[in-house]
Amino acid sequence: MDHKTINTEAYFITKEAIQDLKNNHNQTPNLDSRILLGFAMGLDRAIYPHEKINITENEINIFKKYIQNRIKGKPVSRILGFKNFWKMNFKISKATLDPRPDSEVIIETIMKFYPDKSKILRVLDLGSGSGCLGLSILYEYNKSKAFFLDRSLESLKIAKYNALKYKMEKRSEFICLNWNNEMWDKELHNIVKGNLFDIIISNPPYIPSSQIQELQIEVKTYEPAMALDGGKDGLTSYRCILPKLENLLSSEGHAFIEIGINQKNDINKIANSCDLIFKESNKDLSDVIRVLVYGLK
Ligand SMILES: C[S@@+](CC[C@H](N)C(=O)[O-])C[C@H]1O[C@@H](n2cnc3c(N)ncnc32)[C@H](O)[C@@H]1O
């Protein structure tokens, strides 16, 4: 390994990488290369273009490898192995969805419904992935407890890692269950000894199977299929989850459900056939209806 140090301006290292990214239709070549250069140098910040840096040849080679991966479509967050969401930095892996800024509207909506942060809430995060939703709620409500449920054991390990990183493990439980099993709510009841939940959050897979191949390479190649594929019409998970909410929610509780583009009416129809009342919907940063709130009839 060569540790020869070069003293230079970052610009001279990133110039060629930026051009390569541009040639490969990357939309954010400057930002991506600054972040990846910082990471290659072992820093947890981006490097400014005209910053004076001391960089080893080994670090330059690592940076070039990251740029090649980015050119192949690997998202920056997957190269780094973590992603910022709400107020925290979450470890991610092949088993977890990359947390989306659009999902932050779920946290904002919950905070509107529960303005008292000292409340002791029991939270269920269905399809927890990295744990970004449930752990962000624990961050805001520091007396509350969350149960993270996912069919992917590997994703639960990452959620647990994130809970430990933020010292929230004592307020977290991790449950490996598959909501495709008809009796999943009964199994959950047995595990949590019949206790109900004040808040149920879910961001289930909602992309219709036939549309997966049309997604950007960053998503279809690097996100776990289990986190994306919502079945033939995208609604399979909602049909498994919504009918069980009446057995899981406390009488005053609310469910905050993330949805895909234009799915509101179809999902409200499913909810109407269950014992749920639609309370409100909220839009994400792109003005798309992203979260539906339900209570019990
Ligand atoms: C869209 S991802 C959401 C992850 C995370 N909550 C987030 O917002 O970033 C959906 C999650 O649901 C899980 N999942 C998919 N099908 C499931 C099932 N049948 N039972 C339990 N979990 C499931 C996936 O493993 C994945 O972690």
- Ordered by start, the domain boundaries in the chain are 5-72, 94-296
Does 168 contact ligand 1 (Cβ within 6 A)?
no
Residue 2: what pLDDT?
A: 52
pLDDT at 110 over 80: yes
pLDDT for residue 192? 96
Atom number of ligand 1 nearest to Cα 106 = 8
pLDDT for 4 = 87
Query: What is residue 275's predicted lDDT score, i.e. its pLDDT?
Result: 86
Residue-level pLDDT at 26: 95
Q: Which atom of ligand 1 is nearest to the CA of 125?
A: 6
pLDDT at 72: 96
Q: Give per-residue pLDDT as tens, 238-259.
A: 999 999 999 999 999 999 999 9
Could you name the CATH architecture of 94-296?
3-Layer(aba) Sandwich (3.40)
β-pairing, 289-296 vs 5-9, is unpaired
Report which ligand 1 atom has the smallest distance to the Cα of 100. 9
Using the mean position of ligand 1's atoms as its centre, give its distance from the Cα of residue 99 in Å.
11
Q: Is the pTM of this model over 0.85?
A: yes
127 lines ligand 1 (CB under 6 A): yes
Ligand 1 lined by 270 (C-beta under 6 Å) = no
Spacing, Cα 128 to ligand 1 middle (Å): 6
Ligand 1 pocket, 234 CB below 6 A?
no
Give the CB-side neighbour count of residue 222, counting CA atoms within 13 A.
19
Residue 1 — very low, low, confident or very high, per pLDDT cuts 50/70/90? low
The answer to whether residue 47 scores a pLDDT higher than 60 is yes
Q: What is the pLDDT of residues 5-46, one digit of tens each?
A: 999 999 999 999 999 999 999 999 999 999 999 999 999 899
Note the pLDDT tens digit of each residue in 132-179: 999 999 999 999 999 999 999 999 999 999 999 999 999 999 999 999
Q: What is the mean pLDDT of the chain?
A: 97
pLDDT digits (tens, 9 = 90+) for 212-240: 999 999 999 999 999 999 999 999 999 99
Contact 86, 136 (CB under 8 A): yes
